[in-house]
Amino acid sequence: MDNPHYMRRIRSFVLRQGHLSTGQERAIAEFGPKYVIEYTPEPLDLDAAFGRHAPRILEIGFGMGQATAQIAGNAPEQDFLGCEVHTPGVGSLLKLVGEQSLTNIRIVQHDVVDVLEHMIAPASLDGVHVFFPDPWHKKRHNKRRLIQPDFLKLLVSRIKQGGYVHLATDWEDYAIQMLEVLGGESALQNTAEGYAPRPDYRPLTKFEQRGINLGHGVWDLVFKVR
Ligand X SMILES: C[S@@+](CC[C@H](N)C(=O)[O-])C[C@H]1O[C@@H](n2cnc3c(N)ncnc32)[C@H](O)[C@@H]1O
By CB under 6 A, residue 133 contacts ligand X? yes
Least Å distance, CB 200 to ligand X, is 17
By CB under 6 A, residue 219 contacts ligand X? no
Least Å distance, CB 111 to ligand X, is 4
**173 tagged catalytic:** no
Catalytic site residue from 134, 150, 173, 200? 134
Give 10: exposed, middle or buried? Use CB within 10 Å, 0-12, 13-18, 19+.
exposed
Least Å distance, CB 13 to ligand X, is 4
The answer to the question of whether 59 is labelled as a binding residue is: yes
**How many alpha carbons fall within 13 Å on the CB side of residue 23?**
10
Give 57: exposed, middle or buried? Use CB within 10 Å, 0-12, 13-18, 19+.
buried
Least Å distance, CB 161 to ligand X, is 25
Asked if residue 93 lies in contact with residue 69, where contact means CB atoms within 8 angstroms, the answer is yes
By CB under 6 A, residue 13 contacts ligand X? yes
List Cα–Cα distances, 191 to 162, 164, 165, 225, in angstroms.
11, 9, 10, 10
The answer to the question of whether 207 is labelled as a binding residue is: yes
DSSP code of residue 18 = -
- Where in 100-129 is the site for ligand X (CB under 6 A)? 111-113
By CB under 6 A, residue 185 contacts ligand X? no
The answer to the question of whether 103 is labelled as a binding residue is: no
Buried b (16+ CB within 10 A) or exposed e, 76-107: eebbbbbbbbbbbbbbbbbbbbbeeebebbbb
- Where in 19-78 is the site for ligand X (CB under 6 A)? 60-63, 67
Cα-to-chain-centroid distance, residue 154: 14
Distance CA 86, CA 101 (A): 22
The answer to the question of whether 40 is labelled as a binding residue is: no
The answer to the question of whether 224 is labelled as a binding residue is: no
User: Which positions lie near ligand X, rule CB under 6 A?
Assistant: 12-13, 60-63, 67, 83-86, 89, 111-113, 131-134, 146
Positions at the binding site: 59, 84, 111, 134, 138, 170, 205-208
What residues act catalytically? 134
Q: Which residues are annotated as a binding site for substrate?
A: 138, 170, 205-208
